[in-house]
Amino acid sequence: MTQQKQKQINLRIPGPTPVPPDILEAVGHPMINHRGGEFSAIVSRITAHLKAFFLTQQEVMVLTCSGTGGLEAAVVNVLSPGDKVLAVSIGSFGNRFATIAEVYGADVTMLAYDWGQAASADDVRKALKAEPDIKAVLVTHNETSTGVTNALAEIAAVVRAADKLI
């Protein structure tokens, strides 16, 4: 294999990620003021493109943190200590979502599956019926620890029909 072809290999894994030359060049420029007009314009442009990309008219929030930070942001901004939540876990990050909720004082009911198995919307429906005082359902869409994707549209429909938060 030639050296040129080796540089073009795309591993398609979480990291390390190959960085294209034009990006490397861009990061070599001086920083702009993160509170200035230039930065604000960039964020507005990116947000508009994200809305189009995700096919939504809803607001898009960009978090400068890991996925765990996103889970924590969801919990701390939506739940209060003592709120009952159903945590649907199909792997490591589903468990982490539940742990974060517990740390912030939520009363967590686990709906755990064997790792590698997707959650069932029917199981979520049954759990919500069994505990009607549940306020919210915590669920990962794609569980990166196992590579399994939950049927989020189906689960969300069940949660919304029960008038709960997802």
Please tell me whether residues 107 and 57 are part of one structural domain. Answer: no
Whether the model pTM is above 0.85: no
pLDDT at residue 4, as a whole number: 53
Please tell me whether residues 72 and 148 are part of one structural domain. Answer: yes
Show the domain range for 55. Answer: 1-62
DSSP SS3 for 88? strand
pLDDT at residue 33, as a whole number: 94
Please tell me whether residues 98 and 81 are part of one structural domain. Answer: yes
Please tell me whether residues 131 and 56 are part of one structural domain. Answer: no
Omega before 20 within 30 of 0, i.e. cis: no
- Digits of tens for pLDDT over the chain (166 positions)? 455 555 667 667 777 777 889 999 989 999 999 999 999 999 999 999 999 999 999 999 888 899 999 999 999 999 999 999 999 999 999 999 999 999 999 999 999 999 999 999 999 999 999 999 999 999 999 999 999 999 999 999 999 999 999 9
Is 100 inside a domain boundary? yes
